[in-house]
Amino acid sequence: MSARTVDVLLPLGLDTPYSYLVPEGMTLSPGDLVHVPLGARGMIGCVWSRTPGGGSGKPVDVAKLKAVKAKLDYVPLPPDLLKLVDWMADYTLAPRGMVLRMALRHGESPGAGRERVGVRLCGPAPARITAARARLLDLLADGFVRGKSEAAREAGVSPSVVDGLVDEGALETVVLPPEPAAYPPDPTFATPTLSEPQAKAAQALSGAVDAKGFGVFLLDGVTGSGKTEVYFEAVAQAIRDGRQALILLPEIALTQAFLDRFTTRFGVKPAEWHSGVSTRRRGRILNEVASGQVRVVAGARSALFLPFRDLGLIIVDEEHDPAYKQEDGVAYHARDMAVVRARLASAPIVLASATPSIETEVNARRGRYHRLALPVRFGGAKVPGLLPIDLRKEGPPKGRWIAPRLEAEITDTLEVGGQALLFLNRRGYAPLTLCHSCGHRMRCPSCTAWLVEHRFRRRLTCHHCGYQTPVPEACPACGAKDSLIPVGPGVERLQEEVQALFPAARSLVLSSDLAGGVERMRAELDAVAKGEVDVVVGTQLVAKGHNFPGLALVGVVDADVGLGQGDPRAAERTFQLVHQVAGRAGRGKTEGRGFIQTHMPEHPVMRALVTGDRDAFYDTEIAAREEAQLPPFGRMASLVVSASEGHVAEGHARRLAASAPMVAGVRILGPAEAPLAVLRGRHRWRLLVRAPRAFDLSRYLRDWRATAPKVTGNVRVAIDVDPQSF
């Protein structure tokens, strides 16, 4: 008699599925979710396609196998998602199970939201009344049905109290109808009149959606050119065709403005997907995405792993944004993986940006991506020109950061009722605190980083590990009292200067770490858009797609931040960031102006920003990358070896480097101390692998790993294929 077995991939750090017996009468196919025995409680896994000879590759002894406990009554993961998991695991070298976990770790449990049970009052009051029971009965005294768990939560009692009253007949259970599904987006709700370049681009995209084939489009348009309106037309087409669309956005703070625009265009909100959405709601969205009821999802990078039933289009907005890169756990770039998913789903994908990443730009130049250009702002508004302010010649007095010329410009702007935005990519009050008596610098105890003062919280904070400590009254090194002084500006300190220079102006700090979280951030962005703020002082948070119609002036307070740290990507990042920030101005009726304060006005980045010659900048950057065989002309991977002791990390990194297989064209750079040499108390050494463009780097790394010296003790090796810094 031959027992039937099945391979089940578990969401753990394992690369291969486990084999289980299939109980009599159960049929299972790849993608089905099953409950299998594992440890005390069992675990939910996903039926994987059969690997030869069983999950582990070794012949399995059927007699020792355990049986699948249950098949979950749940829509199976679609084939393109299963392929994506396999593809990503192969590419990133992350364990397959950890990639699967990103596709499962969504709702409270896969079945959540399937059936809701409600309770209501019935029959006589029970004989025994406790305080908890009384609260619950009180709540339900109005006779209405409430969801079982909601009732327990609202009354502040444990679910067992509800169950007890049901058992005694004081409450009855009712199966609730599913929550009404949101109305589907209406593609004809408010169709805009497109400009000619918009219409051309929209037509190309809609055509691609209709053709149901893979293709990558770069929607390349200056800030304010109406890229969103254009890709909305493609979304409308997907809806008309009865298919689903996924819109990836880099930043959660951006979504409110985005949701409003979507609602204006389609009559309803899209389904939102990010870590701020409640688990319960996510469970529900997950089901409705799987069943096809949800037509459009707007979300963060994790939305990439949703089980779309019929994905017809992917949009990656602000495709150049670094937020798309995940570095912890499975290291992946969501933009690149979105392209992979689109290919697996045979759907077109749109990458939208005013400042494309070098990788995307090169792909467009090579003709692998179709470029759709929107060269002018919608409605004829002008993109602000940027003027340099040379800090070496016309800088502000010591201890201040706004140059006299910028100050005069702000004064002029405020006089005519315009808004000004000062951009400084430094959170907190001061990036460094030191003792003026002994020179001691306040450092994080577990990272190679200075502690950043946050004055409104009265604390010193590490921006890398989150360590916090109150600002001490005396220097911890020499004991001098009141000797700690802030050095350099953060946005909080810049706001102080704004208040001193423009006492009548209403100023506001916009930074991702202010108290109040997302809700407050949304309210503040809204206040800026409504003109209730005169001077905004912001970090990179303000660079993202916000629309501030009254914004007339942008001042980049220190354009040199981030440059000159030896990261080849720094120039690109600075260009993108400053360009995006400047693009916030002059979107309404007012004409915008922009100033960049810099010590290096002759730097190619500053020159490109001032002349507005984006292509010249890309030409130089691309040539430099090609010369050095850096991505996308060569391939890179980084291996970070970490351990709690420096010499242990270094020793392992050296042995690892020595064990690298010799292959023509592949170079191992390092090991050297990683850019953040100590992080969360772990010492880090980094190796970089550089290989030719067409080289199968993942395969090379896998072969290497198979023969590399084993890690011992608390040594860890983190692999990042296509790292962002190199």
Closest contact distance (angstroms) between CB of 221 and ligand ADP is: 5
228 sits near ligand ADP (criterion: CB under 6 A): yes
Q: Scan residues 607-646 and list those touching ligand ADP (CB under 6 A).
A: none
Residue with tokens 């940006």: 353
Residue 447 contacts which entry, ligand ADP, Zn ion, none (Cβ below 5-8 A, type-dependent): Zn ion
Residue with tokens 């409640």: 278
How do strand 593-598 and strand 386-390 relate by DSSP bridges? Answer: parallel
Could you give the CA distance from residue 376 to residue 573 in angstroms, rounded to a whole number? Answer: 23
**Residue 46 labeled ligand binder:** no
In this structure, what DSSP letter does residue 178 have? P
Q: Which is nearer to ligand ADP, 198 or 363 (CB)?
A: 198
Closest contact distance (angstroms) between CB of 643 and Zn ion is: 17
Q: Which is nearer to ligand ADP, 229 or 361 (CB)?
A: 229
H runs (alpha helix) in 366-424: 391-394, 404-415
In the numeric block, which tokens belong to residue 219? 């929607």
Q: Residue 632: which of 287, 317, 368 has the closest Cα?
A: 368
600 sits near ligand ADP (criterion: CB under 6 A): no
In the numeric block, which tokens belong to residue 23? 């109980």
Instruction: Give the dihedral sign, CA 562/565/571/572.
Output: negative
Question: Which one of residues 51, 547, 620, 629 is an interface residue with ligand ADP (CB under 6 A)?
Answer: 547
Counting Cβ atoms within 10 Å, is residue 408 exposed (0-12), middle (13-18) or buried (19+)?
exposed
590 sits near ligand ADP (criterion: CB under 6 A): no
- Would you tell me which residues interact with Zn ion (CB under 5 A)? 444, 447, 462, 464-465, 467
49 sits near ligand ADP (criterion: CB under 6 A): no
Q: Please tell me the count of residues contacting ligand ADP according to CB under 6 A.
A: 15
**Residue 447 labeled ligand binder:** yes
Stretches 148-156, 224-232, 387-395, 616-624: which one binds ligand ADP (CB under 6 A)? Answer: 224-232
Return the amino acid letter for 343: R
**Residue 438 labeled ligand binder:** yes
Instruction: Give the dihedral sign, CA 132/135/139/140.
Output: positive
Main-chain phi, psi angles of 556, to 5 degrees? -90, 110
Closest contact distance (angstroms) between CB of 679 and ligand ADP is: 36
What are the CB-based long-range contacts (under 8 Å, 24+) for 662-671?
663/691, 663/700, 665/691, 665/692, 665/695, 666/690, 666/691, 666/692, 666/695, 666/700, 667/691, 671/641
206 sits near ligand ADP (criterion: CB under 6 A): no
Question: Which one of residues 78, 113, 118, 226 is an interface residue with ligand ADP (CB under 6 A)?
Answer: 226
355 sits near ligand ADP (criterion: CB under 6 A): no
In this structure, what DSSP letter does residue 511 have? -
Residue 465 contacts which entry, ligand ADP, Zn ion, none (Cβ below 5-8 A, type-dependent): Zn ion
223 sits near ligand ADP (criterion: CB under 6 A): yes
Closest contact distance (angstroms) between CB of 667 and ligand ADP is: 40
Return the amino acid letter for 75: V
Residue 467 contacts which entry, ligand ADP, Zn ion, none (Cβ below 5-8 A, type-dependent): Zn ion
Could you give the CA distance from residue 278 to residue 275 in angstroms, rounded to a whole number? Answer: 8
In the numeric block, which tokens belong to residue 118? 């409600």
**Residue 122 labeled ligand binder:** no
Question: Which one of residues 71, 96, 106, 227 is an interface residue with ligand ADP (CB under 6 A)?
Answer: 227
Q: In b/e form, how buried is each residue of 11-33, taking b as 16+ CB within 10 angstroms?
A: bbebbbbbbbbbeeeeebebbbb
Q: Which is nearer to ligand ADP, 192 or 385 (CB)?
A: 192
Stretches 26-34, 58-66, 194-202, 646-654: which one binds ligand ADP (CB under 6 A)? Answer: 194-202
Phi-psi region of 214 (alpha: psi -120 to 50; beta: other; left: phi over 0): beta
Nearest residue to ligand ADP, scored by beta-carbon proximity = 226
Closest contact distance (angstroms) between CB of 540 and ligand ADP is: 16
194 sits near ligand ADP (criterion: CB under 6 A): yes
Closest contact distance (angstroms) between CB of 247 and ligand ADP is: 12
Residue 14 contacts which entry, Zn ion, ligand ADP, none (Cβ below 5-8 A, type-dependent): none
Q: Which is nearer to ligand ADP, 221 or 307 (CB)?
A: 221
Residues that bind ligand ADP (CB under 6 A): 192-195, 198, 221, 223-229, 378, 547
- Residue ranges at the known binding site: 435, 438, 444, 447, 462, 465, 475, 478
